[in-house]
Copies of this chain bind each other. A is one copy, B any other.
C-alpha cells in the first residue's frame, strides 16, 4: 500500500496499491548514523571467551555507508582482502531521543529492520595499536538495511537467519541478546542524541563468515522480511 508524508511524523496511506515489480525498494530510512554493537549475544561471547558487557560496546557506521535491499555491496577499490557478513536486527529510532529511561524507550522506537553489518575483516586488526572498527565497517555500501521497518514486532520470539548463496550460515534467537532493545536505546541515548531514522544494529551471534565477489547474502527475520545484497567486485 502506498503511503505519503513524513515517515516519522505524518505518513498515511494514499489508498493506492502498487503492483509487485513496478517499484524499487530503497533503504527504508536514512540514518544520520548507525550505532553498531559488539559482543551483545551470549552464545558469541561464550565462544570468544568474553565477559558480558555492562554497557553497550559500540562503534559508529557513517550515513555514507547505507544501502537498501537489492543494492550492490561494493568492494573498496584499495582492498583485496576478506569481506565479512553479519546478519543483525536493527532498531529504528522514531523520535529525537536523549537521556530517556528504559521505561520510556519504547516510545522512541519506530520499528525494526534487518541489517547486514559488512566488514573489511583484514582492516580491523591491520594496525597493532588501534582496532579500526569505524574504518573496517564504514566503507560505502557496508551498511545494508531493509527491506522494511516492522512497527509491530516481537523481537524476543524471533530469530535471525543469514544465508550465503542460499546456504544457511547463521540462525540464532534474538532472545539470546545480552542488552535488549529498550535498555540499548536508554543507555545509548545517555551517550549521544539519537535522531529519527537512526539505526542501532544490536550485534550479531555465531556463524559470521566471508563473502566472495558475486556472493549473495540474505538476512531474514520473520516478521520483518528478507534483506538481500550481492557483493560486486571493484567498480574499477
Interface presence of A57 (CB below 8 A): yes
Taking the complex as formed, is A23 at the interface, i.e. its CB lies under 8 A from any CB of chain B?
A: no
A192 engages B126 (CB within 8 Å): no
In the bound complex, what is the Cα–Cα distance between A165 and B166 (angstroms)?
A: 62
Q: Quick one: which of B55, B135, B193 contacts A140, CB cutoff 8 A?
A: B193
| C-alpha gap A59/B134 in the complex (Å) | 6
Q: Is B64 touching A32 in the complex (CB atoms < 8 A)?
A: yes
B77/A190 in contact, CB under 8 A: yes
Whether the Cβ atoms of B191 and A138 lie closer than 8 Å is yes
> Are the C-beta atoms of B195 and A129 separated by less than 8 Å?
no
A219 to B58, CA, bound (A): 29
Query: What is the CA–CA distance of A148 and B131 in the complex, to the nearest angstrom?
Result: 33
- Closest-by-CB residue of B relative to A79 is B190
Which residues of B have CB within 8 Å of A39?
129-130
Say yes or no: A62-B32 contact (C-beta < 8 A), given A76-B190, A192-B139, A192-B140. Answer: yes
List residues of A (63-91) whose CB comes within 8 Å of B's CBs.
63-65, 76-78
A95 within 8 A of B: no
A24 at the interface (CB under 8 A from B): no
A35 to chain B, nearest CB (A): 8
Return chain B residues, CB-CB under 8 Å to A130: 38-39, 53, 57, 131
Asked whether, in the complex, the Cβ of B138 is within 8 Å of the Cβ of A57, the reply is no
Q: Who on chain B is nearest to A188 by CB?
A: B135
Residue in B63, B76, B138, B191 whose CB lies within 8 Å of A135:
B191
A62 surroundings in chain B (CB, below 8 A): 32-33, 60, 192
* Given A99-B77, A192-B64, A192-B65, also A51-B134 (CB < 8 A): no
Minimum CB–CB distance from A134 to chain B (whole Å) comes to: 5
Complex Cα distance, B57 from A132, in Å, reads 7
Contact in complex: A127, B55 (CB < 8 Å): yes
List 15 extra interface pairs beyond A33-B60, A53-B127, CB under 8 A.
A32-B62, A33-B33, A51-B129, A55-B126, A57-B127, A57-B130, A58-B132, A58-B135, A60-B62, A64-B194, A64-B195, A78-B190, A98-B140, A138-B192, A140-B192
Those 3 A-B pairs whose CB atoms lie nearest each other, nearest first: A57-B130, A64-B193, A60-B60
The contact sample of 6 A-B pairs, CB cut-off 8 A, is: A32-B32, A38-B130, A50-B129, A60-B60, A76-B190, A138-B192
